[in-house]
Amino acid sequence: GILHGWIGGACAEPVVIREAKRVIEAGTPSLIWLGQPEDFEGMHVPAGVVTVPMSCQSEGALQLFIEPVLAAPEVIVVGRSPMAMTLLDLVRGVGWRGEIVDGPDFTAASVNPSSVVVVATQGHGDEEAVEAAVSGDPAFVGLVASRKRGEVVLGFLADRGVSAERIARVRVPVGLDLGHTTHREIAVSILAELVQLRASGAFAGRRTLLPVVEPAQVTDLVCGMTVAAVPANRPFEYQGTTFYFCAMGCRVAFEKDPESFIHQEVPC
């Protein structure tokens, strides 16, 4: 990724980058406290807060709230009924990505782990569409059907050898219970449930993440900060070992007396 803007110093920056990657992967926000080790002595730290002691020369403290901005859900509507078309319009209307596919054209290849699939074939190939959906291992599968009809479809999947775990992930009937609704109004109840699930973080763990080769993380022996072992972090070789530093001040201090830092207890 690319870092835009300024965070607050060489010591804080690698910590924020590291925590930002963790937050993106988890899909949930986090509050970070950075400060001198003595700042945290005897302090009650609320649940969910990440504390990072640092012994940089600048001293001071920093509180950061890191919130992931994730891609909008990708909703695949299977079917061509008026309700399916209404659902597609609603999905796009709230800024989500959406597409509609005819039942016979829908295959497992259409699905990825980030997909949210709503099967609205309504009696025309329900079984085949749901089987294709669960085979693609998406974030969510919902079936527009009555409970009785849903039991038939899920029984078909079991007879076909689909695992109980995958069958259990099929939501049927999909949509919040809004009482008596018209055919098109069913789309509103479905979108309402999808919004509710997304807000709860139910889709976060199913996102597709590209593999990232992370550089080794080492300790700056002067200040105790964790830094990446990359050329940008002021490498200095001493007795066959390369050391890395968060700032030039730390490297200069190390150069003057390496042995005093190598054998001391690193700040934590």
Alpha carbon distance 59, 155 (integer Å): 64
Look up the CATH architecture of domain 74-206.
3-Layer(aba) Sandwich (3.40)
What contacts 191, CB < 8 A, 6 or more positions away? 87, 90, 91, 94
Domain ranges within the chain, ordered by starting residue: 12-68+212-262, 74-206
Alpha carbon distance 120, 129 (integer Å): 9
pLDDT tens for the 268 residues of the chain, in order: 677 887 766 667 778 888 888 888 777 888 988 777 677 777 777 787 888 777 666 666 788 898 888 788 999 999 999 999 999 999 999 999 999 999 999 999 999 988 999 999 988 999 999 999 999 999 999 999 999 999 999 999 999 999 999 999 999 999 999 999 999 999 999 999 999 999 887 886 555 555 556 788 888 888 877 888 889 889 999 999 999 998 888 899 999 999 999 887 554 4
Alpha carbon distance 228, 217 (integer Å): 5
Sequence letter at residue 179: G
* pTM value surpassing 0.75: no
Backbone dihedral region of 44: left (phi > 0), alpha (psi from -120 to 50 degrees) or beta?
beta
Q: How many CB atoms lie within 10 A of CB 94?
A: 12
